[in-house]
Amino acid sequence: MIRKMMLVGGAMISALVLGTSTAEAATGYTIWQEKDYAQYDTVRDAAAVCDEEQDGNGVYAEYNQKNGTKLTIGDSNGSKVGCGNATIPDVTSFRICEDDAGDDSCSLWRIVR
């Protein structure tokens, strides 16, 4: 009887724990290009781009908005502490690019949902 109660109790606890987890939509997105990265937070409409490589190449991120506008922000201080930041509403996709010799090297576009 005690064993049966423990099994039933364990099953109920498992159901409660598993039943209370909900699928939440992601609100923060990050894309990397080697050590450099760009981010977007859909709750705060916060965009950031960070140059984390001391290679002399500048880094910038391009953000596409729902209305068709493309905005670009860069990390103006290079690889020093701190990132480039902006508030950009309604972003649908973004990518990070490195201003290197020849054509700039860019990541694939990261879709924001």
Give the pLDDT confidence of 89-113 residue by residue, as tens digits: 999 999 999 998 888 999 999 999 8
Q: What residues have CB less than 8 Å from 64, skipping those under 6 apart?
A: 70, 91, 92, 93, 94, 109
- Cβ-based neighbours of 48, under 8 Å, separated by 6 or more: 38, 39, 40, 61, 73, 83, 84, 85, 86
**What pTM does this model have?**
0.75
pLDDT at 40 over 90: yes
Range picked from 12-21, 58-67, 77-86 for highest mean pLDDT:
58-67
The predicted model gives 50-63 an average pLDDT of 94
The pLDDT of residue 47 is 98
Quick one: pLDDT at residue 25?
60
